[in-house]
Amino acid sequence: MPVYARVGTRAHRAGSTRGRGRPTNAGPAQVKSILEDIGEYRALKAGNAPQNDISTAINKTARKLIGLYGWDDPLRAQKETERTESGDLSLSEEEQKRRDNVVKKVRREISKIWRKNMLVGCPVTTVKPVAEIAELIRLFATRPRRKQAYKIWAKSHARPELEAEVDSRLASRTQDTSTGTATPPRVSMWNTVASEWFKASSIEEQTLARKEAQRIHAEAIERWDASASAVPMSPEEAIEFMEASQVFLGDLMHFFANRASGIAVLFIGGPSGSSLVSEGVCDVPGQPKLLYSEANPSACGQFKDQLDKQVRLLNETKWPQAPNVDHYSSGFAPTDEEQEVTARRDGEEMEANVDAHDEGSDEDQSDDESSITFAGRASELEFIVPQPSARVERQCAAQSTPSADLDGAASPHHPASFVTDGVDPWNDYDIGNPDMAVPEDLRRRDYDIRTTVTPFAPRITGYGTRSGVHPAGYNEAFHSAIAKILPYKAWLEESNTINFFKAVPTKLSGKVDEDVACALSLAYLKYESSKADEMALTMRKIQTTTEAVAVEQPRYMFDLHLRDFTSRWNGRATYGENRTTAKMDADVNVTLPRQWALLQPQERLDRQGQVCVTADSSMNWRNALSPGLEGIRILVVTLLVWAWNIRGDEERSEWSRLASDVSQVLHVLTEKVGILETDSPIRHNGDHGVNGRQRSGRQGKKSAKLRAMEGDE
């Protein structure tokens, strides 16, 4: 322990009410030690605890203080002393009386200091902060966005004429296919019409709408300005502040880790069992980052569990009306109140995603260029909710280090370390419940999304020497494949998939290996012409450090149905950016290979869950990779869009290995089911797609594009 004061140089505390030259009853080190236990005193006073409980807490702190600084002068000692046995029977009567007086003196001082600092707002240390923390948070926090005036004007009261005009324009745009452009979403058309009508409205209406927008924005700024320093009025408000602070804290941990050339970890426990973990690892050139929670998951899990217990005691006193979270540790289901809070947040996130489509309006862009909402950042934050104790115990007992075997040879045909008693989870695979076939520890393994290394990319040797399809011969093979499929699958044209795959050589030129990309595209088209039944691809759930719970990832791949399954060459989000449904995940280089590995039979995986065995016809994918509009197409499209947004040579190599493995699997699946005959019908798994989307009714007709292609021949 450091020395806090020196003999003869004791300084007078600023703001002290004592006279000059009169020393304090307790030294700075003793005051600090006493204030460490003030939380228990505050909890007892807030709960109107009996005096006996308060005396017990004071006695405990007094024993701790005397044990640290000895019996001579525990309140004024300059350094800690060795601990003495409290039950010494050789003490004289005078020494025993002296010690009794010391205990009484220490107890009085503890009681006085606790009473003086009982209120939460009172300072608990004599050291003033170097900078105002609230001002620092405001500096890095994002200001609220200003709502556009035309939106306020359009929603001030019901406007059926405006909605009818939007529907009319949208229908006209949908029917007009001569331009070859995709139909914009309705929200974009609504923004365009509302903006035009607002500009055509009267000056009085425009002025009122702008004043209302300014008033709403001023109130939001006032709430935002007070949120950095105001005490939360409810557990939900405290959790929202934790969520909003994660980006700032994550950047802070990375800064300190690099500056200190080490590792920085921050644990924060909040109400209702919520916790925040921010980690940072210093950069080492040429080496991937390994977070401390990955290197030592057992210790981190135990610490978070102990922290949650202590925080729960505090919040049970502070928020008596808050729901009890003991069910999390005992494995029971959440209460109705918690489910209601979760549903409210899900609704807010969905609303934020809908607002993100406002990019189609020029006025939206001008107003929102410099503002990003906190809700949009939630998908990139390291927010962890409580887990059942059984899962925590399994995770802590695993003691797995994912990086240990990454550079070593894979061990094929061995069950993963978390599969016990010889049970093969794929034997009970159910397409309606995909998670039951996925080893839970594999889904729970987290990796640092900031590294370009993809731990779950296929590690199969031999793919690099396999000849692909040269771009020069791709066009002819592409037209031949489309001519066979299009009469039976009109959705290829309706979903812009034909134009998408036609542009593969042009889009991916100079980005990745074009031969591998062309081979992947033709392997997919050949699989679509097979006899396999069309079924929707059911994605597996993955949990990373950016997600509170396990969700389907990549989110871009999962969100394809929100854009009517249209195949487009979309961009890729950057780390810390507000990702919309039309942007690929920043960590797609991690989540897409993991998703592919979870879709494979277990005999293809090694102990780390990586694909290490070449696909062959003896394996059974059990309809996990079926063709169709909602089938394997969404994975192949996501893989090609990743290639268009590739970053760095390491990602390029990982992409080539993954694309080669996908091509090999598609060839195997095609050979197993055979090619579709010209007069064979296509069987669909139901009449409706995801979210009730009706399938195309033109399956037996030739499209205009096919007729044009046949005319050219």
The pLDDT tens digits of the residues spanning 33-50 come to 888 888 888 888 877 888
CA neighbor of 375 nearest in space, from 394, 354, 395, 396? 354
pLDDT reported for residue 276: 85
- Between 46 and 451, the higher pLDDT residue: 46
State the first-to-last Cα distance of the chain, in angstroms, to the nearest integer.
88
pLDDT reported for residue 52: 84
Give the whole-angstrom CA distance, residue 696 versus residue 496. Answer: 14
Q: What percent of the chain has pLDDT over 90?
A: 12
Give the pLDDT mean for 50-67.
86
pLDDT digits (tens, 9 = 90+) for 108-133: 888 888 888 776 544 444 444 434 56
The total of other beta-carbon atoms located within 10 Å of residue 419's CB is: 16
In this prediction, residue 289 has a pLDDT band, given cuts at 50, 70 and 90, of: confident
CA neighbor of 304 nearest in space, from 338, 279, 263, 276? 276
Mean pLDDT computed over every residue of the chain: 70
Phi (first) and psi of residue 477, to 5 degrees:
-65, -35
In the predicted structure, residue 177 carries a pLDDT above the cut 90: no
259, 276 contact by CB (below 8 A): no
pLDDT digits (tens, 9 = 90+) for 412-450: 433 333 333 333 333 333 333 333 333 333 333 333 333
In the predicted structure, residue 376 carries a pLDDT above the cut 90: no
CA neighbor of 263 nearest in space, from 448, 41, 498? 448
In the predicted structure, residue 162 carries a pLDDT above the cut 80: yes
pLDDT reported for residue 661: 92
In this prediction, residue 665 has a pLDDT band, given cuts at 50, 70 and 90, of: very high
pLDDT reported for residue 559: 84
pLDDT reported for residue 564: 60
pLDDT reported for residue 676: 64
pLDDT reported for residue 207: 92
Beta strands in 90-150 (DSSP E): none
In the predicted structure, residue 699 carries a pLDDT above the cut 80: no
Lowest-pLDDT range, 331-340, 550-559, 564-573, 619-628? Answer: 331-340
In the predicted structure, residue 358 carries a pLDDT above the cut 70: no
Give the whole-angstrom CA distance, residue 364 versus residue 431. Answer: 42
Give the pLDDT mean for 279-289.
83
**CA-CA-CA-CA torsion sign (546, 549, 550, 554):** negative
Give the pLDDT mean for 632-657.
91
277 beta partners: 267
Residues with Cβ < 8 Å from 555, sequence gap 6 or more? 379, 579, 581, 585
pLDDT reported for residue 371: 33
pLDDT reported for residue 21: 56
- Between 625 and 679, the higher pLDDT residue: 625
- Between 348 and 370, the higher pLDDT residue: 348
In this prediction, residue 189 has a pLDDT band, given cuts at 50, 70 and 90, of: confident
Give the pLDDT mean for 643-669.
91
The structure tokens listed for 577 are 């950016």
pLDDT reported for residue 562: 63
- Between 329 and 253, the higher pLDDT residue: 253
pLDDT reported for residue 182: 67
Residues with Cβ < 8 Å from 685, sequence gap 6 or more? 533, 534, 535, 536, 626, 628
pLDDT reported for residue 370: 33
**CA-CA-CA-CA torsion sign (30, 36, 39, 41):** negative
Give the whole-angstrom CA distance, residue 585 versus residue 259. Answer: 29
Beta strands in 284-397 (DSSP E): 383-384
Question: H or E segment at 548?
Answer: none
The structure tokens listed for 99 are 């010690």
Give the pLDDT mean for 253-276.
88
* Ranges 62-66, 170-174, 518-522, most confident: 518-522
Q: What percent of the chain has pLDDT over 70?
A: 63
363, 147 contact by CB (below 8 A): no
In this prediction, residue 473 has a pLDDT band, given cuts at 50, 70 and 90, of: confident
658, 457 contact by CB (below 8 A): yes
- What's the predicted TM-score (pTM) here? 0.39
Give the pLDDT mean for 327-354.
37
* Ranges 10-24, 223-237, 243-257, 621-635, most confident: 621-635
Q: Cis peptide leading into 455, omega within 30 of 0? A: no
In this prediction, residue 84 has a pLDDT band, given cuts at 50, 70 and 90, of: low
In the predicted structure, residue 262 carries a pLDDT above the cut 80: yes
Lowest-pLDDT range, 252-261, 430-439, 493-502? Answer: 430-439
In this prediction, residue 361 has a pLDDT band, given cuts at 50, 70 and 90, of: very low
Give the whole-angstrom CA distance, residue 572 versus residue 602. Answer: 31
Beta strands in 20-158 (DSSP E): none
pLDDT reported for residue 378: 35
Lowest-pLDDT range, 10-14, 209-213, 241-245, 315-319? Answer: 10-14
pLDDT reported for residue 12: 45
